[in-house]
Structure 1
Amino acid sequence: MKKIKTSELAKKIEGTLIGEDFEIEGVNAIPLAKESEIIFIDSLKRVEEAQKSKAKVVLCPEGFAKYFSEKSVIEVKDVKVAFAKITEVFKTEIEPKWEVSPQAIIEEDVLIEEPCAIYPLVYIQKGAKIKRRVILYPGVFVGAYSEIGENTVIYPNVVIYPYTKIGKNCIIHAGVVIGSDGFGFAQEKGEEGYKNIKIYHFGSVEIGDEVEIGANTTIDRSVFGKTIIGEGTKIDNLVQIGHNVRIGKQNVLVSHTAIGGSAVLEDYVMLGGQVGVAPYSKIRKGARVAGKSGVTGEIPPGEEVAGIPAIKANVWRKAVIIFAKLPEIYKEIKKFIKSET
């Protein structure tokens, strides 16, 4: 079990310790925490609940120490960022078995830098390159001439098609498929209707460093060139990324989002859950798209949008209020029309 002094923890998260310097051994939710764990709050709404907690130490925004005279406090500028750093301090991991299992199948001309953990039932095709400290869990398929950067972890039943390049320090969760063909067909006219003719794909997928991809997400390879996922981007479970999409660095894509072929997301873009992005759309740097929105065309830099089709979020909010009142407005209009006639 990891233990750390609150003074040392405060330094790690660039916070200010107010109160006694305890040794703590974990972080927990307010109602579940023990005396030896730290809890966190980010608003006044949770002060009373935190005051009653067994935890001796509270992580909170600057100026909140006055509410916790009987506890030690670490004040920070950004609670969420500090909390994320604390979870890294206390994270628990099962040490992998640093060996290449004899039950793994490895074809010719595969380069594996030691140490690596390659579990049973992994299949690696010819010409692949696996850098040091990569972990491949059971059922992972690595296609020919693919490259996986150091310290990357790939969980069970991930499929990596040939010629895929994955950077270092990535996390790829179970069931992800990278490099499958995009959805491309031409319709050849016939006597009745048409016949779908497959457009074959010749490109690949390139994933930058420190990317995390959630379970059962799919990323299609390009027709020509590359489908690109930029450095530090975080992708939730069940996201679909089409062929030739280019995603910049430090994007956040929430579950059930679907991005059509050849769309471009610049750096620091955030998409809420169930967002649809039409093919060839462009979302500029720092833009944010609310959940269940539909993006077509171009979203300007730093813009916050919502709705289908996506419009400025402040306009959309007003429109939603008006929409809810339409039945009442309609009744008034009908009364006015009758009175005029």
Structure 2
Amino acid sequence: MITIEQLITQIEQHQPVLNKSELSAEQLRTRLAGVGSLTDADCMQMSFLADPHYISSLPSSQAAAVLVTAPYREQVPATSIALVVATPYLAYASGSQLFVPDSPTGCIHPTAVVAATAIIAEEVSIGPYCVIGEYVQIGARSRMDAHVVIEAHANIGTDALIKSHVTIAYDCVIGNYVRLHAGVSIGAEGFGFAPTRDPSSSGWVRIAQLGRVIIGNHVRIGTHTCVDRGAIDDTVIGNHVIIDNLVQIAHNVRIGDGTAIAAKTGIAGSTIIGKRCIIGGAVGINGHIEITDDVTLSGMTMVTKSIKTAGSYSSGTAAMPTAKWRRAAVRFRQLGND
């Protein structure tokens, strides 16, 4: 369990707790065992009000502590401790990390295969059936769960969390505090082929992919996402990038710091995406284009040309009754004849 005082320390890494000085020593020692919603939290849990839509649940909440903005402070029940912040959702995000169960550190499972030339720093954990290749470097306090494969000359930073069945190909570089979830592929061969005169009879000629994948610090990549190695130059993921499950990032793509990418997005080769972009689910982005900083792409948008001005962009049609959609589709085709 953690105390209110520990929770405040965690929250204040990103924002102040505005009423901290008003809390008594006894309140600061209050112990918390988890997080719950306003309606379901018990007297050992923290909760939060991020959306005024749920304000009706606040006065009757049984939570031990509630994260709220100043206007709603007086509606926190007397049995709860109000922690006043500017952004309760951000405070919840910070505090939630304290309740994740600790994992053992510094253990190398006897079934793991670790090359004699690999450099393993202190407190690194390597799970069952992992394979660590020649001249790999792994930074302090990093953790690999079962069946992780790290190929020769790859470099892993400090405090990485690499979940089961992740593959990191040769020469790739992973920064500090990176989280790679189950089944992620880093540095697989990019999709590069040259056609022969007649591919139906003589096939395609594979282009050797000679670049690397370079991933910055504080990056999170979701389950079964693939980041392909560059053909000549590197594929680069900047700092503080968050990527959802089932995303395809092709060779030579460059993604700027602080960008967020939702599930099932596909980014074709050699595209450059700027900083702080937000890319919705199932977005398709053409190759060899540039998207500037601070662009938002709504779900299922298809981007075929460069975007040079920050803002929000959408394409496609929303769901409607089939009969109406068919009439709209006919009219859309007719527009092409004008």
In the alignment of these two chains, the number of paired residues is 318
Q: Distance in 1 between matches of 2:105 and 2:220?
A: 22
Determine whether 1:247 maps to 2:251: no
Distance 1:196 1:6, change over 3 A: closer
Residue 85 of structure 1, aligned match among 76, 94, 99: 94
Do the aligned residues in 2 keep the contact of 1:188 with 1:197 (CA within 8 Å)? Answer: yes
User: Within 5 A, what are the aligned runs for 1:59-138?
Assistant: 59-68=67-76, 70=78, 71-88=80-97, 90-138=98-146
1:311 aligns with: none
Q: In the alignment, is the contact (CA less than 8 A) between 1:7 and 1:17 conserved in 2?
A: no
Q: 1:41 aligns with which of 19, 26, 49?
A: 49
Partners of 1:288 and 1:158 in 2: how far apart?
29
Alignment gaps of 5+ in structure 2? 332-338
Separation of aligned partners in 2, 1:327 and 1:117: 60
The equivalent residue for 1:216 is 224
Residue range with higher mean Cα deviation, 160-169 or 96-105: 96-105
Establish whether residue 304 from structure 1 lines up as the match of residue 308 from structure 2: no
Partner of 1:2: 2
Residue 78 of structure 1 deviates from its aligned partner by 1.7
Counterparts of 1:1-341 in structure 2, within 5 Å, are 1-5=1-5, 8=8, 12=12, 13-17=15-19, 22=27, 23-25=30-32, 26-68=34-76, 70=78, 71-88=80-97, 90-190=98-198, 195-308=203-316
Alignment check: 8 A CA contact 2:8 2:17 kept:
no
Aligned pair in 2 of structure 1 residues 301, 14: CA closer, same or farther (>3 Å)? farther
Closer, same or farther: CA 139–193 of 1 in aligned 2, 3 Å = same
1:16/1:191 CA distance change after superposition, 3 Å: closer
Larger CA Rg, structure 1 vs 2: 1
SS at match of 1:45: helix
Report the counterpart of residue 334 of structure 1 in structure 2: none
Percent of pairs with identical residues: 26
Superposed CA RMSD = 2.8
User: SS state of the match for residue 58, structure 2?
Assistant: helix
TM-score of the two chains, using structure 1 as the length reference: 0.84
- TM-score, with structure 2 as normaliser: 0.85
Give the residue type in structure 1 aligned to 2:177. N
Partner of 1:313: none
Q: CA deviation at 1:225?
A: 1.5
Q: Secondary structure at the match of 1:189?
A: coil
Counterpart residue identity of residue 208, structure 2? Y
Point out the more displaced range, 112-121 or 255-264: 112-121
Q: Which runs of 5+ in 1 are unaligned?
A: 309-315, 332-341
Using the alignment, how far apart are the partners of 2:112 and 2:7 within structure 1? 46
